[in-house]
Structure 1
Amino acid sequence: MPLVDPFFSFLRKLHGSESIRIMDTCHGLLLLDRGGYDFDSIPSYVVCNPATKQWLAVPDFGWTPSPCNGMSVHLIFCPAMSSHFYLLQFTDDLFTSVTSVQIFSSKTGAWTHSESAWSLEEKQAPCERWRYESYSLEPERKRAVVNGMLYLICDSLGEGPPVLDGDHIIAVDVEGKTRKFIPVPFRMCKEQCSILSDFVGQSQGLVHYVNHEEPEYYTNNDGPSERSASEYNDDDDVEYELFIWILPEGDTQELVLKHTVSFLHLFGEKSCKAGIDYNVVAIHPDRDVIIFKWNDKLISYDMDTGEVCALHTVSDSFGFASYVPYFSELPALSNKY
């Protein structure tokens, strides 16, 4: 098959395609925003398949979005289950702090809004409580789509122990309804450390979740907290680790530890700060290989062999999205260049 055109030249006749931003990918389809990097504009979405040069301009919402603290959108496409795709857009209302979800279905060609389409019982279901409490979705930590369900990291904004109160994984169906609310696991085996989420993705048909330990004095992006790092000299000999967990098949809400690796083995440092020193950017869809951005390099780690390889030099401004071509044409993508 021919290589995929990385410049999206098949979209050049589409109005606004001169400034596009990749928002999400899923099983060979890409979600683009024609608003580019103008974050104040109302999104104008396009779903396309670069391998077949098909695309669909998603219609506007049909309503004016309320002022919001944040908005994230995710693409769900599972070709083994359906030839249709769905967009789930989460909006955190500025005044009520309620997280609502808007859904676009390629089957109906229209958007629906959770607050108007759901019954009272559905809105008040136990799994939906995160939408009305102090929780925030973390789209920059990626997401997984497995068996038609969208898995996202959900972080608590309240006070309290950051692990016990904080991170959960939510599983959302194509109607935007939360089906699972999974507390993330942790291994609090060292004092004076916090456990933070790094990544959720899918590999070999299973949800994979990555978290890690950090010293307590890693409190922000600017430097140590009021407690000086010198107070933690006893930690100099501690080797902090990454933990890789999987969600087994079936109706389970408990993640199982799959693998552990030290920062020293990965990067040659005993402790590293997520988002500053490194980022988990991808997991191989068919192998036990994780991809990191470390300083100005992409690095792979093979869980089976323990091998660490430098793959490529990249700019600090690079963003990453995993993409595997899908070569079948889809009736849902009605336009073709």
Structure 2
Amino acid sequence: MPNPADRSPPSEEGCTSTLVRCSSSGAVTAAERLTDDFIVEILSRVPTKSLCRFKCVSKHWLSLTTDRKHCKKLPQTLVGVFYSRPSGDGFKESFVQFTSATPRFGSPICTSLAFLPNHRRAILLDGCNGLLLVLWCPNAQGPECYYVVCNPATEKWVALPDPKQVNKEDVLHLGLSFDPDVSSHFHVFAFLKEKDGCEWDPYWSGVEVYSSETGTWVYKDNCWNGDIMLANHQSASVFLNGYMHLHAFHREPYRCLAVVDTKGETATHFRVPGGIYQGFIQKSQGCLHYANFQRTEGTAVIRFVVYVLKDYGSKEWTLKHSSATSYIFGKNLAYLHPHFEWIMIHPDCNLIFFTVGHGIWCYNMDRRQVELIPGTEYCMGPYLPYVPLYSELPSLHE
């Protein structure tokens, strides 16, 4: 298989369309006799993965699922990816970019964040279940910057007060947690680096947690007595089962996930499968997934592997997918390493996205196919998969 960088973009039936499709299906003649309201009522009662398939029935059905007036009734799936575009002019040009999962039909949300005053001066930090966390600098002439949580689907947002304990420069990692099935309130985690620590040894001293319910930050000391080191500033964080999960390293050493609750009090850690490089974690199909590269014992073969944590209580990982990297990339992994970056795992399907140099690529684990997503030639992280949320939250305002 040739190297992805040498390939031409796929056809309209390629990866970009696959972002919202778990499988293809033919048109259903009887569907043409149903009214729009009746179709929407039916689609509102099916699981998210089934809705992905029904989007493929016809262009009309797809347009119904992206119509804002119907979105509140329907289960939502991935509509695209927020990311940043490099700019040599600082905040003079927009950093926020968006690749739609249905480019021919447009996006049902405000992808430019234009509802924020001076929205071109917003930098993406994290996202969770329909909300985005950004660093917003409203005044081009002033140094003031604020953490803002916003909802592109409803165009509501709120600026947070500054953390109490430290300056923003001392924050090692920021994470947003929100579960609309449990509460209408969100939390923001600010993990603070040790004052005497160096850039390449980012042990953290504690965490401040902001609650939208109380409107305040609460500081908690490091629960692991300095044994846990966060992987880096760009490590993906995942909120699942009421806990924030972050890629980390233990002093022994071994790779692990650092886990902390929304109060910053209950904390633990558990191992992740080993690998050659830093792995990647994300929630998909209701379970925690872990992707990495592993060398086959006794050989020079390097494989791309994906594990899933089906039983969260046991903390035992199950191998879900394995494929030789030469089959996917067509070149030696050492060559790809400086240009490779994880992006996301589809929340509803067995698709994983990554960059190799410029552009976003999609690998279908079921079909073992890789394709370039058109229109993503110049991009950089963080990459935030976006599933819209149309509920009104008390903490967000116009």
Letter in 1 for 2:309: L
> 1:93 & 1:102 partners in 2: Cα distance?
13
Q: CA deviation at 1:155?
A: 2.5
Q: Are residue 325 (structure 1) and residue 359 (structure 2) matched?
A: no
> CA distance change for structure 1 residues 323 and 211 in 2, over 3 Å: closer, same or farther?
same
> 1:279 & 1:182 partners in 2: Cα distance?
24
Match of 1:185 among 240, 254, 273: 273
> 1:203 & 1:84 partners in 2: Cα distance?
22
> 1:147 & 1:274 partners in 2: Cα distance?
35
| Greater RCO, CA 8 A, separation 6+ | 2
> CA distance change for structure 1 residues 170 and 42 in 2, over 3 Å: closer, same or farther?
farther
> CA distance change for structure 1 residues 6 and 214 in 2, over 3 Å: closer, same or farther?
same
5 Å matches for 1:1-337?
A: 1-2=67-68, 3-12=108-117, 17-35=119-137, 44-65=146-167, 68=170, 71-95=172-196, 98-115=204-221, 128-129=223-224, 132-133=226-227, 135-156=229-250, 165-186=253-274, 195-213=276-294, 238-272=300-334, 276-319=338-381, 320-333=383-396, 335-336=397-398
Question: Which secondary structure does the structure 1 equivalent of 2:326 belong to?
Answer: helix
User: Percent identity over the alignment?
Assistant: 27
Counterpart position of 1:190: none
> CA distance change for structure 1 residues 84 and 110 in 2, over 3 Å: closer, same or farther?
same
Question: Which secondary structure does the structure 2 equivalent of 1:114 belong to?
Answer: strand
TM-score (structure 2 length as normaliser): 0.65
Question: Which secondary structure does the structure 2 equivalent of 1:285 belong to?
Answer: coil
Asked if the contact 1:238–1:270 (Cα under 8 Å) also holds between the matched residues in 2, the reply is no
1:260-300 deviation per Cα after TM superposition (whole angstroms, max 9, x unaligned): 12211211124245651311111100011100112223211
Query: Where in structure 2 are there 5+ consecutive unaligned residues?
Result: 1-66, 69-107, 198-202
Task: Give the RMSD, CA atoms, in angstroms.
Answer: 2.7
Aligned residue pair count: 283
> 2:146 & 2:152 partners in 1: Cα distance?
18
> CA distance change for structure 1 residues 295 and 63 in 2, over 3 Å: closer, same or farther?
closer
Letter in 2 for 1:114: K
> CA distance change for structure 1 residues 267 and 46 in 2, over 3 Å: closer, same or farther?
same
> 1:109 & 1:241 partners in 2: Cα distance?
46
Question: Which secondary structure does the structure 2 equivalent of 1:265 belong to?
Answer: helix
Asked if the contact 1:76–1:150 (Cα under 8 Å) also holds between the matched residues in 2, the reply is yes
> CA distance change for structure 1 residues 167 and 204 in 2, over 3 Å: closer, same or farther?
same
> 1:244 & 1:175 partners in 2: Cα distance?
31
> 2:155 & 2:168 partners in 1: Cα distance?
34
> 1:148 & 1:134 partners in 2: Cα distance?
20
Q: CA deviation at 1:134?
A: 6.0
> 1:285 & 1:59 partners in 2: Cα distance?
32
> 1:80 & 1:209 partners in 2: Cα distance?
24
Asked if the contact 1:199–1:280 (Cα under 8 Å) also holds between the matched residues in 2, the reply is yes
Question: Which secondary structure does the structure 2 equivalent of 1:8 belong to?
Answer: coil
Asked if the contact 2:172–2:204 (Cα under 8 Å) also holds between the matched residues in 1, the reply is no
Question: Which secondary structure does the structure 2 equivalent of 1:113 belong to?
Answer: strand
Letter in 1 for 2:121: S
1:225-274 deviation per Cα after TM superposition (whole angstroms, max 9, x unaligned): xxxxxxxxxx9x83311211111234122222211122112111242456
Question: Which secondary structure does the structure 2 equivalent of 1:266 belong to?
Answer: helix
